[in-house]
Amino acid sequence: MTLEAVDVVIVGGGAAGWSAALAAAQSPASVALFEKLPESGGSSALSGGCLAFAGTDLQAQNGVSDSPEQLFRDLIEVGHHENDPALVQTYCDAQLATYDWLKGAGVRFSPVIETASGQSVPRVHTVDPADMVRMLKAAALATGRVTYQAQEPVAGLMIDESGGVTGVRLEDDKLVSATKAVILASGGFAKNPELIERYAPQYLEAVFVAGAGSQGDGLRMGTELGADLCDMTHIKGTFGKHPTDETNDHSLQAVYKGAIAVNQDGQRFVNESISYKLLGDAVMAQPWHTGYQILDQGIFDTGDDRVRILDFGRRLEEGLFYVGETLEDLARQIEIEADVLVETVRRYNSYVETGQDPEFGRTHLVHTHGQLCKIEAGPFYAYPSTAVVFGTYCGLRIDCDTRVLRPDGSPIKGLFAAGEVTGGFHGAAYMTGSALGKAVVFGRIAGAQAAVS
């Protein structure tokens, strides 16, 4: 049975899907958005709510000087030059207008306070993530041009004789025609162990936290039509997750305040100031895929309960930290040989004193910020840390208009994609706020482009 045709069909109701729906409706086009779960929101609603924008009024209010050009340089550097510069440029060109557009839809941002992973200046703009999705959804529905169906998984794409996409097939075999385009906004595949085993076997033992719908449906639909994939080898977990914590609570980054990371043998294994995604790779290569962040009282006191990754106090209250009056006492509790841990800390402190870390080249607390400090005055703390996979940062190749591309670079007619289902933007690693940022920036572009296609 074919239901009434609309201009644009959207698969998935996370930040990318609702941004696309609002932008398409504003273009104006008629839109049908299908969400597989009883509630839309996806990983977006669970997320830390950090978005990376540059050159905003909130940065200026806090005396932060930033620009799209600086954001471009940082994104390319964090991505190890393996990201598609055209997509990065598109993000940088569109992000400021998207920030204003989100505010226009009622989204509220907190003041910009901290420098985060991969950022040369503070540019994390924080929202209540579930609220942001609700605002986008409400604004889209208020246009009167969007119909929304929850608990209605899209099972496949309809194509014509030329291979162009003409609509979608729902799970109950109902067909919905799209006169202009279909937008895949179905998120990543962190909840699909088979795909994780294929593309990131090194992370199989990590903790996985993502929306239950993150099963790679859009990836499958796109590749069935010959879409190309990119960045598939760059899936990364985030360092700093307690191994027994499967809540959507974020990781803890005591390392960015001066802690060191040691493995179960009591040895440092990485320059702790690099992106917490690269730290994720490093910890997964350690025995038992785990380690500890080691800090003293002075570092502990610099925690910040306004920032989830720096909220040491709450984690202490939750009993997630080990605490020892001396390093020897701490070592006994975490089953590391005491003299090995003491020697590791002594060596590190000597590097802080000389300003040279011959082992791993650490020069700052995080990225190029913050002066290193010694770990010397008890009590001492250890936070067990493995990696958590929040998302899959790779997927369908798209162009700057978000059209899905084949390996030869030709677009699949009538098919667009945005958000975590796409690859190419992050490259080898990810800057804090750039995944949610990518969902709204490219979701908005996808909606506008699909509506005029």
Q: Pattern of binders to ligand FAD over 373-392, x per CB under 6 A?
A: -----------------xx-
Verify binding: residue 211, ligand FAD, rule CB under 6 A.
yes
Q: Least distance in Å: CB of 409 to ligand FAD?
A: 23
Verify binding: residue 36, ligand FAD, rule CB under 6 A.
yes
Verify binding: residue 429, ligand FAD, rule CB under 6 A.
no
Verify binding: residue 259, ligand FAD, rule CB under 6 A.
no
Q: Least distance in Å: CB of 213 to ligand FAD?
A: 2
Q: Which stretch binds ligand FAD (CB under 6 A): 12-20, 263-271, 273-281, 330-338?
A: 12-20
Q: Which stretch binds ligand FAD (CB under 6 A): 7-15, 229-237, 327-335, 364-372?
A: 7-15
Nearest residue to 188 (alpha-carbon basis) of 149, 237, 129: 237
User: Which residues between 325 and 354 bind ligand FAD (CB under 6 A)?
Assistant: none
CA–CA distance, 197 with 195 (Å, rounded to integer): 5
Q: Which stretch binds ligand FAD (CB under 6 A): 257-265, 267-275, 324-332, 436-444?
A: 436-444
User: Which residues between 49 and 68 bind ligand FAD (CB under 6 A)?
Assistant: 49-50
Q: Least distance in Å: CB of 139 to ligand FAD?
A: 16
Residue 124 vs 412, nearer CB to ligand FAD: 124
Q: Which stretch binds ligand FAD (CB under 6 A): 97-105, 212-220, 255-263, 401-409?
A: 212-220
**3-state SS string for the chain:** CEEEEEEEEEECCCHHHHHHHHHHHHCCCCEEEECCCCCCCHHHHHCCCEEECCCCHHHHHCCCCCCHHHHHHHHHHHCCCCCCHHHHHHHHHHHHHHHHHHHHCCCCCCCCCCCCCCCCCCCEEECCHHHHHHHHHHHHHHCCCEEEECCCCEEEEEECCCCCEEEEEECCCCEEEEEEEEEECCCCCCCCHHHHHHHCHHHCCCEECCCCCCCCHHHHHHHHCCCCEECHHHCCCEEEECCCCCCCCCCCCHHHHCCEEEECCCCECCCCCCCHHHHHHHHHCCHHHCEEEEEEHHHHCCCCCCCHHHCHHHHHHCCCCEEECCHHHHHHHCCCCHHHHHHHHHHHHHHHHHCCCCCCCCCCCECCECCCCCCCCCCEEEEEEEEEECCCCCEECECCCCEEECCCCCEEEEEEECHHHECCCCCCCCCCCHHHHHHHHHHHHHHHHHHCC
Verify binding: residue 402, ligand FAD, rule CB under 6 A.
no
Q: How far is CA 391 from CA 208, 251, 358, in A?
A: 9, 14, 34
Q: Which of 22, 132, 227, 435 binds ligand FAD (CB under 6 A)?
A: 435
Residue 138 vs 377, nearer CB to ligand FAD: 138
Residue 266 vs 391, nearer CB to ligand FAD: 391
Which residues face 124 on adjacent strands? Answer: 52
Q: Least distance in Å: CB of 256 to ligand FAD?
A: 15
Q: Least distance in Å: CB of 181 to ligand FAD?
A: 16
CA–CA distance, 417 with 225 (Å, rounded to integer): 13
Q: Which stretch binds ligand FAD (CB under 6 A): 208-216, 227-235, 325-333, 396-404?
A: 208-216
Verify binding: residue 396, ligand FAD, rule CB under 6 A.
no
Q: Which stretch binds ligand FAD (CB under 6 A): 210-218, 296-304, 339-347, 364-372?
A: 210-218
Verify binding: residue 253, ligand FAD, rule CB under 6 A.
no
Verify binding: residue 42, ligand FAD, rule CB under 6 A.
yes
CA–CA distance, 341 with 324 (Å, rounded to integer): 13
Verify binding: residue 187, ligand FAD, rule CB under 6 A.
yes
Q: Pattern of binders to ligand FAD over 68-107, x per CB under 6 A?
A: ----------------------------------------
Verify binding: residue 423, ligand FAD, rule CB under 6 A.
no
Q: Identify residue 194 by its one-letter amino acid code.
A: E
Under the rule (CB under 6 A), what is the footprint of ligand FAD?
11-17, 34-37, 40-44, 46-50, 153-154, 185-187, 209-211, 213-214, 217, 248, 390-391, 419-420, 433-437, 439
